[in-house]
Structure 1
Amino acid sequence: MDARVDDTAIALAVDLDGTLISGDLLWECVFRLVRANPLFALMLPVWLLGGKARFKHEVFSRVSVDPASLGYRPEVLRFLEAEKERGRVLILATASAQDHAGRIAAHLGLFDRVIGSTPDTNLKSAAKRARLVADYGDAGFDYVGNSRDDVAVFEAARRSYVVAPDREARAWSDAHGGAILVDHGQTSLTDVVRMLRVHQWAKNVLIAVPAVLAHTVFEPVTLVHLIGAFFAFSFLASAVYVFNDLFDLSMDRRHPTKCKRPLAAGRIDPATGIKIAFGLMAFSVLITMTLPPLFGIVLALYFVATTAYSLKVKRWLLLDVLTLAGLYTVRIIAGMAAVGAEPSYWLLAFSIFFFLSLALVKRYVELDLAKISERQRLSGRGYRPEDKEVIAQAGMASGFSAIVVLALYLDSPAVYQLYDHPWMIWPICPLVLYLIMRIWILAKRREFNDDPVVFIATDWRSQLMIVFGAALMFAAGAVDFHALGL
């Protein structure tokens, strides 16, 4: 007899987190709560001490979630729609708050019943199993789940369907013949690298700039400190990227390109992302302990500033780009702290203007590519399409200001002390001008849509200008023109 003949008489219970949606509603609400008011981060441990049920109630009661913004798995939705058409009773059974689950069910229009957590009960694992068995009997329901918390429910269900399983759920499915509806495989190293945005580590080469300009970069102690500082900064920056993606999950899912990020696409679950982020932060702290104390202070300030940027500042008009320019400059200050170099106010002034120009070009491109009306704000930003020309003018003016600062520096006493032939490094001015003008022209042509700093670090023409500039600086200090008969 076909086992599916009586399926319509068997209720089908479906898990929410990681199953119906690719993310985790609790974690999404936690990050939305902290983004709305960072002081709530101090309350999270207090609520957790009261138990998981109270923790969920406190978080869910303070956050409103738009059901349309969640990352639903299309394969699961198609499966449920087909089962609904066959006449089956569908139950949304989740450890998330029942009222939130009710709004999700109403939005989808698929479920006949919703059961979820309450202030007194955390409907997870054994508790969910007991509730379903009490209502439908042992083996009186089918179940769709994804994680080790669902294994207890799998064992009480008549038939189990597994979605994007973790290790324990996959092992149970292999041993008991559970049907796998969606299988993206285990989290790959490629997904982790993309989540951490390792390509953005190129920005942290700025740490070496003070040592390069002071001609101490190849000293053994300096080199070791620079390598340590680079990785300490890179690990911390990647951790911040993870938290930033968690804060922006709903916006990223609606973005044409950011929706492909591993967290937004559901390739990596939030809990795994958080574990990796805290691991990277721990490694960053360990490395920092081997470096001068001043570097640790600068790194801590960077963390505070970049966290504030992720939470609030990036949504504020103009302050966001000024903060971005400051964060790039902090990398240079960190390089000074790591090697004990004297502060160069010429370098810091050049850095602020140069990176402000690049931050503005990034905003210009985002506005230019956004498909929004003239009076509508860019999602998650403080800009509107009519701001484009002002941004372009300010960006190019800032770039030219950086050239002026550079030209004044090249005629300063510091340069005459460092270089035997300072006139040889004057061509650096048009080289930097070329970098700035080219990136703005490409932006105007809509031929540029990358992070500008990463673009400069990976574009062969920009690399050629950088190599040529480095060669000029070397020659200005190392070539003996008298020996060459010049």
Structure 2
Amino acid sequence: MESFVGLLKTMRPKQWTKNLILFAGILFSNNLFDFDLLRLSIAGFLLFCIFSGNVYIVNDIVDKEKDQLHPKKRNRPIASGKVSVLKAIIFLFISMIFSFVVAYKINYLFFIIGLIYFILVTLYSFVLKHIVILDVMTISIGFVLRAVAGVVIIDVRISPWLLLCTFLLSLFLALHKRKSEMELIAKGNKKSRKILEEYTPELLNDMLHIVTSSTVMAYSLYTFSASGSMYMMGTIPFVIFGIFRYQYIVHKKGMGENPELVLLSDVPLIVDIVLWAVSCIFILYFV
């Protein structure tokens, strides 16, 4: 049981909030109350949690010796010895076969997207995260693949606005993560990632200015053309508040390094996201 709990921790459950983007497809295609499609979306979400968790297991197996030298990472189940490498490999093998076989049986295109995602994130862990600019863009592409998976599993049309907004918002989060990591290094509180040597605070600020304004504009343009557009424009303030609130948290509380924790811990941001989601559901389904 201890090994199983350790393996679940290795799969990083706190990171699974990123997979909620899979539900965007069913929400914005006006199928949220089609329970057959909703079950498919939930299945897709759970499978992507396994896909992403498997990548973390691979990463921790390969980086075991390096993690043992890190003050925090040495406490990870595999690095600390709580979970043996052999058990991790066996669990990984079973988990991969199970998840991909189920994905294939549910939807062939979903299976292909999941496989591409797994390969991309694995490449990121070992190669792409060391290439400047491409590192943050790869993170964003991973979110786009999640959004695409959420669409293909229920077999609806892919909205270009969904993909664009997903790409820009995830790029916004990734750039803030890099910026926060640089600030922690400047304070002597964090060991440097090699890729951070390629960035400067000025470069990151310039990139964030472009991405932040582009995110707001892309979402605004979506609302102009969406179903019930006159009312959907009323959700723009929630998006602007969410972006500003996140920037406030990053600058005042120094939590930009862990965006998944922000989404789970900041009450005003959680309330804002819930109000945005409820507003979208009400406008799209009841107006």
Please list the CA deviations of residues 241-276 of structure 1 after superposition, one character each: whole Å capped at 9, or x if unmatched.
111122333443344433322222222222221222
Other-structure match for 1:383: 196
Alignment CA distance shift 1:478-1:296 (3 Å):
closer
Amino acid in the other structure paired with 1:258: K
Please list the CA deviations of residues 9-47 of structure 1 after superposition, one character each: whole Å capped at 9, or x if unmatched.
xxxxxxxxxxxxxxxxxxxxxxxxxxxxxxxxxxxxxxx
Q: Is the 8 A contact 1:396 1:440 kept in 2?
A: no
1:437 is aligned, of 232, 241, 244, to 244
Other-structure match for 2:121: 306
SS of 1:333's equivalent in the other structure is helix
Other-structure match for 1:402: 215
Cα deviation, residue 457, structure 1: 4.7
Q: Is the 8 A contact 1:240 1:277 kept in 2?
A: no
**TM-score (norm: length of structure 1):** 0.55
Other-structure match for 2:84: 269
Cα deviation, residue 396, structure 1: 4.1
Please list the CA deviations of residues 381-400 of structure 1 after superposition, one character each: whole Å capped at 9, or x if unmatched.
31129613322332243122
The structure having more radius of gyration, on CA atoms, is 1
Work out the CA distance in 2 between the residues paired with 1:214 and 1:315.
37
User: How many residues matched?
Assistant: 285
Other-structure match for 2:74: 259
Please list the CA deviations of residues 364-383 of structure 1 after superposition, one character each: whole Å capped at 9, or x if unmatched.
2222223698xxx933x311
Give the number of the structure whose residues are more often helix, by fraction: 2
Q: Is the 8 A contact 1:317 1:382 kept in 2?
A: yes
**Structure 1 stretches lacking a partner, 5+ long:** 1-185, 481-486
Please list the CA deviations of residues 433-463 of structure 1 after superposition, one character each: whole Å capped at 9, or x if unmatched.
2222222232223431553145225532222
Other-structure match for 1:245: 60
Please list the CA deviations of residues 311-367 of structure 1 after superposition, one character each: whole Å capped at 9, or x if unmatched.
201111111100001101110000111011111111111111110010111112222
Cα deviation, residue 464, structure 1: 0.9
SS of 2:205's equivalent in the other structure is helix
Amino acid in the other structure paired with 2:50: F
Please state if 1:212 is matched with 2:27.
yes
Q: Is the 8 A contact 1:367 1:385 kept in 2?
A: no
Work out the CA distance in 2 between the residues paired with 1:445 and 1:256.
25
Task: Give identity over the alignment, percent.
Answer: 25
2:279 is aligned, of 472, 475, 479, to 472
Q: Is the 8 A contact 1:361 1:392 kept in 2?
A: no
RMSD of Structure 2 on Structure 1 (CA): 2.3
Please state if 1:236 is matched with 2:51.
yes
Work out the CA distance in 2 between the residues paired with 1:391 and 1:255.
27
Give the number of the structure whose residues are more often strand, by fraction: 1
Other-structure match for 1:166: none
1:461 is aligned, of 261, 268, 275, to 268
Q: Is the 8 A contact 1:362 1:451 kept in 2?
A: yes
What are the equivalent positions in structure 2 for 1:219-368 lying under 5 Å apart?
219-368=34-183
Amino acid in the other structure paired with 1:406: Y
**TM-score (norm: length of structure 2):** 0.90
Amino acid in the other structure paired with 2:195: G
Amino acid in the other structure paired with 1:230: F
Q: Is the 8 A contact 2:12 2:56 kept in 1?
A: yes
SS of 1:339's equivalent in the other structure is coil
Q: Is the 8 A contact 2:177 2:258 kept in 1?
A: yes
Cα deviation, residue 465, structure 1: 1.0
**Structure 2 stretches lacking a partner, 5+ long:** none
Work out the CA distance in 2 between the residues paired with 1:351 and 1:474.
18
Cα deviation, residue 310, structure 1: 1.2
